[in-house]
């Protein structure tokens, strides 16, 4: 007699094919990428217009309710209090865009499955968590709980769990080749035994990946949101990269099951986020009159990682890696912050002014120059991600080659982050020693500090 572990799992698509040479998969609906893009233009326009109109309304509400960010002349150098809650305008814009994907898209694109409702449920959970934090400053554990609720919404409908099948399938083989033909039995008290099915292991690894990715992306977006227009503008650039990968996938892989495929959902969600970012950016670019707040930064991280996870619809983990490369700027800044704070012996949640954007602002002398430089860096990462996806989709390169390239890329990012953090720690230690000995040279205020003192 056996005790099965877990309920019946949903059917899982085949593991990522070894080669994709541009041929349309058999029994797939052929998708014209340009026509698909044209069909979803209303999604972009609705998200753009709604965000553009909602932002000043949300700003007035935030000011009247005193949900504002006051300058402190240390990390917050703006000259006057700035309204929070810009993320709510983004939320309304993206939600309106998703609604438009259900109502305004015409055939033949309308026969494809629109943005899954589970993503909208996750959006609500994330936006509510960020809103409460912007108003009352939630404990970190409560913020994590809200993000995990959003991750659970994705896992509930099995969006993103296939990524584990791609990773594990490439590294150790399909489930029926693992654990003695797919199962292993562990004797318990007679006559019972515990039966573990390899498919269940793959599924729960996928669930764990969703949780880790959602937590990581939300907090990475939150950390990079430190200068006027930085997160909104860089996200718009990322969306262009996401859109190109989505269209490539649509044209090359086709749509095997129009009622369940994510071909249209990827394009619609990306266009909704792109429209919302461009609608919000005029109010948020330097000098900003409203900030995204945690509502916006957490929401943007969640939406970006949802799009990236949808690249692995059929276990194409190499395309997920390509999406992560597009998202590399927040990842790089987060890795740098973790290493820096570990070396300094402070809490990982401790705020500081040594993020990438802060250092660039001090080096270049202005917020605008720093933000434009980071836009260029984001565009570079987007080109790299799209090129990697195109190489995988348009050539016969094996998936392990893509893994190797992605591994080298992220290892390089981590090494640079570690070196930068170590140099910062050494510089700080030398400065402390010089001050203790009375030999430190007089500090010269940087441009940003001079500007702050004048204001």
Return the domain boundaries, the chain. Answer: 2-454
Alpha-carbon span 354 to 370, nearest angstrom: 13
Q: For residues 10-35, give the mean pLDDT.
A: 50
Cβ count near 143 (within 10 Å)? 22
Residue 437 confidence (pLDDT) = 73
354: exposed, middle or buried (Cβ count in 10 Å: 0-12, 13-18, 19+): middle
Torsion of CA 203, 204, 209, 211, to 10 degrees: 130
245 close to 384: Cβ distance less than 8 angstroms: no
Torsion of CA 42, 127, 227, 419, to 10 degrees: -110
452 close to 73: Cβ distance less than 8 angstroms: yes
Fill in the DSSP letter of residue 17.
P
Residue 275 confidence (pLDDT) = 97
Q: Identify the top-confidence range among 23-32, 240-249, 360-369, 416-425.
A: 240-249
Residue 450 confidence (pLDDT) = 34
Q: Is the sign of the CA dihedral 198, 203, 207, 213 positive or negative?
A: positive
Coil, strand or helix: which one is 2? strand
Alpha-carbon span 216 to 406, nearest angstrom: 18
45 close to 253: Cβ distance less than 8 angstroms: no
105 close to 115: Cβ distance less than 8 angstroms: no
Radius of gyration of the chain, Cα coordinates, nearest whole angstrom: 24
Contacts of residue 388, Cβ cutoff 8 Å, sequence gap at least 6 = 318, 321, 322, 325, 402, 405, 406
Report pTM.
0.82
More confident residue, 210 or 432: 210
Q: For residues 317-334, give the mean pLDDT.
A: 91
Q: For residues 270-288, give the mean pLDDT.
A: 95
Coil, strand or helix: which one is 232? helix
Residue 121 confidence (pLDDT) = 94
Q: Is the pLDDT of residue 419 over 60?
A: yes
Residue 87 confidence (pLDDT) = 95
What is the percent of the chain where pLDDT is above 70? 72
Alpha-carbon span 304 to 330, nearest angstrom: 11
Residue 66 confidence (pLDDT) = 87
List the beta bridge partners of residue 82. Answer: 69
Residue 34 confidence (pLDDT) = 82
Q: Is the pLDDT of residue 444 over 60?
A: no
Contacts of residue 140, Cβ cutoff 8 Å, sequence gap at least 6 = 349
Residue 180 confidence (pLDDT) = 46
Alpha-carbon span 276 to 43, nearest angstrom: 10
Q: What are phi and psi of 82, to 5 degrees?
A: -115, 140
Give the pLDDT band of residue 183 (cuts 50, 70, 90).
Answer: low
Q: Is the pLDDT of residue 389 over 80?
A: yes
List the beta bridge partners of residue 193. Answer: 2, 187
Coil, strand or helix: which one is 157? coil
Residue 338 corresponds to which tokens in the numbers above?
A: 């973790």
- Tokens 């969703």 belong to residue: 210
Task: With residue 297 as reference, give the H or E element that holds it.
Answer: helix 293-310
Q: What is the DSSP string of 111-149?
A: GS--S-HHHHHHHHHHHHHHHHHHHH---HHHHHHHHHH
228 close to 371: Cβ distance less than 8 angstroms: yes
List the beta bridge partners of residue 290. Answer: 83
Q: Is the pLDDT of residue 12 over 50?
A: no
Q: Is the pLDDT of residue 76 over 70?
A: no
Coil, strand or helix: which one is 309? helix
Residue 195 confidence (pLDDT) = 56
pLDDT tens figures, 83-100: 889 999 999 999 999 999
More confident residue, 14 or 31: 31
Give the pLDDT band of residue 344 (cuts 50, 70, 90).
Answer: low
pLDDT tens figures, 125-179: 999 999 999 998 888 899 999 999 999 998 888 777 777 776 666 665 665 555 5
Q: Identify the top-confidence range among 6-15, 112-121, 181-190, 397-406.
A: 112-121
């Amino acid at each position: 007699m056996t005790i099965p572990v877990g309920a019946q799992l949903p059917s899982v698509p085949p593991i990522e094919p070894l080669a994709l040479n541009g041929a349309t998969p058999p029994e797939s609906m052929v998708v014209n990428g340009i026509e698909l893009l044209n069909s979803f233009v209303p999604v972009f326009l609705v998200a753009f217009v709604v965000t553009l109109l909602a932002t000043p309304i949300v700003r007035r509400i935030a000011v009247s309710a005193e949900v504002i960010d006051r300058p402190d002349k240390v990390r917050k150098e703006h000259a006057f209090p700035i309204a929070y809650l810009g993320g709510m305008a983004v939320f309304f814009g993206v939600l309106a865009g998703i609604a438009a994907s259900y109502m305004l898209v015409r055939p033949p694109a309308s026969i494809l499955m629109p943005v899954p409702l589970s993503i909208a449920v996750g959006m609500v959970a994330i936006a509510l968590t960020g809103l409460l934090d912007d108003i009352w400053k939630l404990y970190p554990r409560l913020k994590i709980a809200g993000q995990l609720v959003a991750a659970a919404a994705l896992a509930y409908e099995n969006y993103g769990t296939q990524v584990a099948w791609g990773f594990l399938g490439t590294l150790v083989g399909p489930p029926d080749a693992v654990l003695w033909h797919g199962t292993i039995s562990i004797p318990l008290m007679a006559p019972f035994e515990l039966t573990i099915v390899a498919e269940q292991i793959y599924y729960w690894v996928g669930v764990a990946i969703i949780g880790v990715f959602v937590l990581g992306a939300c907090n990475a977006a939150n950390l990079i949101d430190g200068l006027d227009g930085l997160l909104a503008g860089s996200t718009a650039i990322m969306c262009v990269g996401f859109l190109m990968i989505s269209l490539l996938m649509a044209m090359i892989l086709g749509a095997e099951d129009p009622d369940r495929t994510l071909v249209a959902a990827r394009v619609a969600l990306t266009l909704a986020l792109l429209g919302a970012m461009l609608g919000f950016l005029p109010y948020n670019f330097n000098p900003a009159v409203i900030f995204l707040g945690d509502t916006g930064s957490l929401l943007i991280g969640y939406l970006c990682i949802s799009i990236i996870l949808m690249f692995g619809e059929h276990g194409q983990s190499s395309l997920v890696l390509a999406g992560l490369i597009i998202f590399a700027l927040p990842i790089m800044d987060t890795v740098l912050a973790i290493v820096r704070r570990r070396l300094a012996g402070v809490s990982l949640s401790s705020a500081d002014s040594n993020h990438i954007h802060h250092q660039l602002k001090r080096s270049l002398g202005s917020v605008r120059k720093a933000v434009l430089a980071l836009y260029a860096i984001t565009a570079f990462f987007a080109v790299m991600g799209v090129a990697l996806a195109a190489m995988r989709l348009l050539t016969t390169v094996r998936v392990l080659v893509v893994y190797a390239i992605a591994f080298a890329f992220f290892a390089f990012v981590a090494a640079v982050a570690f070196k930068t953090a170590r140099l910062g720690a050494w510089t700080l230690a030398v400065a402390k020693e010089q001050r203790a000995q009375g030999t430190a040279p007089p500090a010269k205020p940087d441009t940003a500090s001079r500007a702050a003192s004048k204001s």
